[in-house]
Amino acid sequence: MVLVKTSLCHVPGWQQQLASSISDPAELLQELEIDPGLIPSSKAAAAQFSMRVPRSFVSRMRKGDPNDPLLRQVLPLEAELIRVPGFTEDPVGDRFAQCAPGILHKYYGRVLLSVTRACAIHCRYCFRRKTNNTKVHTGMKEWQQTLNYITSDTSLYEVILSGGDPLSLSDKRLSALLMELDCIPHLGRLRIHSRQPIVLPERVNNGLLKVLAQSRLQLVLVVHTNHPREIDNDVRTALSRLEQIGVRLFNQSVLLRGINDTAETLAELSESLFSAHVLPYYLHILDRVCGAAHYEVKEEEASGILRSLRQWLPGYLVPKLVREEPGQMSKTLLV
């Protein structure tokens, strides 16, 4: 009998990259040649919300700079452990909007389907940091009740895939889900919210492109980019490949203290996105989740930044400044 060992050559490259992500703050700080004195507090914060960052994203950070805007998005800090009034575990009211397992129905004509809690990167300001910190195994059996809900409501036209990050699903599982959605006659559009084309551009491989291209639904991909240095040549290539198969590309950002809270940085981000075939869409006021207070930019200051941004850019490159409020029928447009 010949025993055949499983080889990494059978695992897609993006999954290999994901498996090699850095999850230890000490390793990240050592890799970036940053003061190891940060390790104890960083490990304490990571015990509350685990750290995860792909090495390709780490390679875009500046060595020796603890204030690097990419690093500050992912490095656990002692400030996360401070309880601040007004910051809660469910700042956008997801619990009250859940109408079936994994499905949120907040707005008319569209529903959000949370297909996984897995993410390629753990952003420290994530508004789902409390709910996405555990693993969930979701397959077609678990999704069936959700699919039944979508099928029964003929007012629905658009399904939004979210999570976690929906592109954390394998091509096989994503294909199975899209085939089910394709069979629901009143659906016309599929929107995917994903950070993976930015932080793990290897995810945009031939398999994923084939899965997306086979869907009859109009495809929209909303990526999440906060700083222009997140967009390198690999990211541009990945986004270009998506555009070539007819995917409409938009970006949403979160306004973050010390990371992108200037008109200059946001203008550069919009220009970089547009050159990569992505249209700026939303600039979110921080969702007030526990552990993220140190990122907050007050609304009055945010409005001033946006007014300055309008002087730098043509209107189509200025994202909408919005805040999400529990129970509202749409996002609140500011300024």
242 burial level (CB within 10 Å; 0-12, 13-18, 19+) = buried
**Whole-Å CA distances, 31 to 27, 47, 58, 197, 292:** 6, 20, 9, 23, 25
Residues 153 and 215 in one domain: yes
How far apart (Å, rounded) are the C-alpha atoms in residues 106 and 216? 25
- Please tell me the predicted confidence (pLDDT) of residue 138: 55
- Given a contact cutoff of 8 angstroms between Cβ atoms, the answer to whether 78 and 49 are in contact is no
At 238, which CATH number? 3.20.20.70
- Please tell me the predicted confidence (pLDDT) of residue 200: 97
- Please tell me the predicted confidence (pLDDT) of residue 270: 98
Residues 18 and 123 in one domain: no
Number of structural domains (the chain) is: 2
Structure tokens at 109: 């004509």
**Whole-Å CA distances, 131 to 65, 102, 114, 135, 136:** 31, 12, 11, 10, 10
How far apart (Å, rounded) are the C-alpha atoms in residues 235 and 228? 11
The single-letter code of the amino acid at 45 is A
**Whole-Å CA distances, 210 to 64, 119, 204, 241:** 41, 22, 10, 11
How far apart (Å, rounded) are the C-alpha atoms in residues 330 and 323? 10
- Please tell me the predicted confidence (pLDDT) of residue 8: 52
Residues 58 and 114 in one domain: no
Residues 60 and 103 in one domain: no
How far apart (Å, rounded) are the C-alpha atoms in residues 67 and 63? 10
- Given a contact cutoff of 8 angstroms between Cβ atoms, the answer to whether 217 and 182 are in contact is yes
Phi, psi of 56 (to 5 degrees): -65, -30
- The verdict on residue 3 lying in a domain is no
- The verdict on residue 173 lying in a domain is yes
Which residues constitute the domain of residue 202?
94-333
Residues 58 and 109 in one domain: no
Mean pLDDT per 10-residue segment, the chain (335 residues):
48 93 98 96 96 97 97 97 92 71 87 93 90 52 85 97 95 96 98 98 98 98 98 98 98 98 98 98 96 97 97 97 84 88
- 247-256 per-residue burial string, b: 16 or more CB within 10 A, e: under 16: bbbbbbbbbb
- Please tell me the predicted confidence (pLDDT) of residue 9: 57
Residues 101 and 201 in one domain: yes
Point out which residues pair with 114 in neighbouring strands.
Answer: 162
Give the max Cα distance, the chain: 73
- The verdict on residue 123 lying in a domain is yes
